[in-house]
Amino acid sequence: MKILSGIKPSGSLHIGNYLGMIKPMVESQKRGELFCFIANLHSLTTLFDAAKMARHTEDAILDLLALGIDPDQSVFWVQSDVPEVAELTWYLGNVTPMGLLERCHAYKDALAKGLAPNHGLFSYPVLMAADILAYQSNVVPVGKDQKQHVEVARDVALKFNSTYGEVFTLPEPEIVEELAVVPGVDGQKMSKSYGNVIEIFGGEKATRKKIMSIVTDPTPVEAPKDPDKSVIFALYKLFASPGETKTMAERFRAGGLGYGAAKQELFETIWNHFSKFREKRERLAGDAAYLREVRRKGAEKARERLAATMEKVRKLVGVV
């Protein structure tokens, strides 16, 4: 089974990224062949600062390696290092109906926000389809709000196959329902666009400050509290053991537990959970030669994996 996951290099990762995508991605290395890439070409639709793009890409490589991606066990590469995918995007774009792209959420959301959508944003789903189809991916783990991207990839694959002949595997989306939405410090879905994230590799002081800012109600310390209505508890149970989670829920319901104390316990739980990852990231950051070699070998391995598919596609469309 081939499992494909990509993540845009958009700056510091937060725990919503980790729980919703990176942790399942790392675990996927044990149940199939994982294809994991840094989707830097996708970021170009909105990021026009070359220095920032390069820095974000390097940080993303470091982050994923630190969090458990094994370049020997998986296929791990930077999207722009594999030019065949951009080539495939053109072939797929020529069989992709305009109406299909006009119905895509990302494009419609941009219009609704008053943004000036460019061609890259409009055709974004075609590049994503190329990412998925080039490696004959069977499974694509995605957030609940990204399921449409996989559905579009299936539609594009069907259109290409019916036009030229069978070549592409139809991918299936995989959603981990209980982790699909991780709450931010304001109770909304954790997202950089809302400014409500808790960063994975943030400093200790900044991380504590962010957690202590979690929105709560005015229930007094001595009063019982409903853990199921608390952002603090919702985040705590994502990192605590079942026994710790049960105890925390009982303390909420019993009364006598203030939100400030609960936030401090949440901070300690999250900080300790990521301590080994922070240490690994620091070690890797000091070995530039190793990071360059990982990137070079990853691109080489990725290009080997898609070579047969690209050869077949070129023959089918008449580009030989």
Please give the Cα distance from 218 to 47 (Å, whole number): 41
Q: What is the pLDDT of residue 178?
A: 55
Tell whether 64 and 36 lie within a shared domain.
Answer: yes
Q: What is the pLDDT of residue 50?
A: 97
What contacts 46, CB < 8 A, 6 or more positions away? Answer: 121
Please give the Cα distance from 101 to 238 (Å, whole number): 36
pLDDT in tens, 236-294: 999 999 999 999 999 999 999 999 999 999 999 999 999 999 999 999 999 999 999 99
Tell whether 9 and 69 lie within a shared domain.
Answer: yes
pLDDT in tens, 178-227: 555 789 999 998 988 889 999 999 999 999 999 999 999 999 999 999 99
Tell whether 81 and 105 lie within a shared domain.
Answer: yes
Domain of residue 220, CATH code? 1.10.240.10
Tell whether 299 and 166 lie within a shared domain.
Answer: yes
Tell whether 26 and 171 lie within a shared domain.
Answer: yes
Q: Residue 54, CB half-sphere, CA atoms under 13 Å: how many?
A: 2
Q: What is the pLDDT of residue 10?
A: 85
Mean pLDDT of the chain: 93
Tell whether 105 and 235 lie within a shared domain.
Answer: no
Q: Is the confidence at residue 111, as pLDDT, over 90? A: no
Q: Count of domains in the chain?
A: 2
Determine, yes or no, domain membership for 311: yes
Structure tokens at 181: 């939405």
> Which stretch of DSSP H or E encloses residue 75?
strand 75-78
Q: What is the pLDDT of residue 53?
A: 96
Of the listed ranges 45-49, 75-79, 304-308, the least confidently predicted one is 45-49
pLDDT in tens, 153-184: 999 999 999 999 999 999 999 886 655 578 99
Domain of residue 26, CATH code? 3.40.50.620
Mapping DSSP onto H, E and C, the string for 215-241 reads: CCCCCCCCCCCCHHHCHHHHHHHHHCC
Determine, yes or no, domain membership for 280: no
Q: What is the pLDDT of residue 260?
A: 96
Tell whether 32 and 94 lie within a shared domain.
Answer: yes
Tell whether 102 and 241 lie within a shared domain.
Answer: no
Contact in structure between 37 and 299 (CB atoms under 8 Å): no
Determine, yes or no, domain membership for 278: no
Q: What is the pLDDT of residue 21?
A: 84
Tell whether 152 and 263 lie within a shared domain.
Answer: no
Determine, yes or no, domain membership for 95: yes
Tell whether 152 and 292 lie within a shared domain.
Answer: yes
Of the listed ranges 10-14, 65-69, 77-81, the least confidently predicted one is 10-14
Name the residue range of residue 18's domain: 2-181+288-317
Tell whether 140 and 228 lie within a shared domain.
Answer: no
